[in-house]
Structure 1
Amino acid sequence: MNALHEEMKDYGFTILGFPSNQFGKQEPGDNHEILATLKHVRPGNGFVPNFLLFQRGDVNGDTEQGVYTFLKNSCPPVGDSFGNPTNRLFWEPLKINDIKWNFEKFLVGPDGKPVMRWFPRVPVSEVREDILKYFRLGSIPFQWRKFLN
């Protein structure tokens, strides 16, 4: 995601990260510990996100952040199965349009309307291509179009 953000940031494109502890309890630390965990543990090797990272919060269930209610209601679900949720998913109730796992991604247009949603394991290269296709459709501000030439 760092490379994608770096490649497109000069055109007004940005990535926003929303940590959540609802998937396998993979983000157990306090908000002030998240950056250090990314840098030294997972993924480690000195990783520092070059995009805005919000405070940890819930993306599913009765306590989900409002932005995720909006996104999930605006884009179709990426699948109809959670696999085996026992001891992996930590919210209730499970709904078909819920975020299935960490790194599910949404594309929001410059007008604030959600455009697309990707399954968590979709490679960033595919996400990049989909974003470029969206740009080519002419649904973007004029200043971004020079990026496509």
Structure 2
Amino acid sequence: MRTTAWTSASSEESPSSSSIWPRTEGTPSDLNALQEELGYTGFLILGFPSNQFGKQEPGAPSEILPGLKYVRPGNGFVPNFQLFEKNDVNGENEQGVYTFLKNSCPPVGGDLGNYAGRLFWEPMKISDIKWNFEKFLVGPDGKPVMRWHPSIQVSEVRADIVKYLQDQKMLD
């Protein structure tokens, strides 16, 4: 049995940040730590880069991993979770998995915010993924369980995941 947290839109910048990685716990290093801590339960983190938020992931697929390792966050960073090919998470070309996830979990947050000129898809819907590092928890049966706004800290996400794993008798 596997419990999967889908991390979507893992391109870099937070809408309120001038640096590439958000200055919060929502960083790839925090996701590595979460995967390391809970991986023994069957928990998996899946990352899906997207260029739809501020066009922050413009590179070719072959540039994403070296960019993480040498640029941002740099310092030799290597994700210990599966990183998928860059794709659209919103709009007419969104991947089917996102349609499924967004239809299965209620929208988080209010509207899409004041990001005029920084969101690159149409049509826009209230259920759309709001920004980088929005997260979904998918149970071992493949059913989405929970969704977190991108501003939610990994520590809060961790607490919700631990509670879910305990409720499912997958964690002591």
- TM-score, normalised via structure 1 length: 0.92
How many pairs are equivalent?
A: 142
Tell me whether 1:79 sits opposite 2:102 in the alignment. no
What is the match of residue 54 of structure 1? 84
Q: Deviation per CA, 1:63-87: give whole Å up to 9, x if none.
A: 0011100000000000221221212
Q: Where does residue 114 of structure 1 map in the other structure?
A: 144
SS at match of 2:136: strand
**Equivalent position to 1:7, from 29, 34, 37:** 37
- Distance (Å, rounded) in 2 between the aligned partners of 1:90 and 1:37: 22
Q: TM-score normalised to the size of structure 2?
A: 0.80
Partner of 1:96: 126
Give the counterpart letter for 1:82 in structure 2. Answer: L
- More helix by proportion, 1 or 2? 1
Q: Structure 2 unaligned segments of length 5 or more: list them.
A: 1-30
Note the C-alpha offset of 1:58.
0.2
Q: Distance in 2 between matches of 1:28 and 1:111?
A: 34
**In structure 2, distance between residues paired with 1:81 and 1:45:** 36
Partner residue in 1 for 2:55: 25
Residue identity over aligned pairs, in percent, reads 71
Runs of at least 5 residues in structure 1 that lack an aligned partner in the other structure: none
| Relative contact order higher in (CA < 8 Å, ≥ 6 apart) | 2
The alignment partner of 2:161 has SS state of helix
Q: Quote the Cα distance in structure 2 between the aligned partners of 1:69 and 1:134.
A: 23
| SS of equivalent to 1:106 | strand
Q: CA RMSD in A?
A: 1.0
- The amino acid across from 1:83 in the alignment is G
Cα separation, 1, equivalents of 2:57 and 2:104: 26
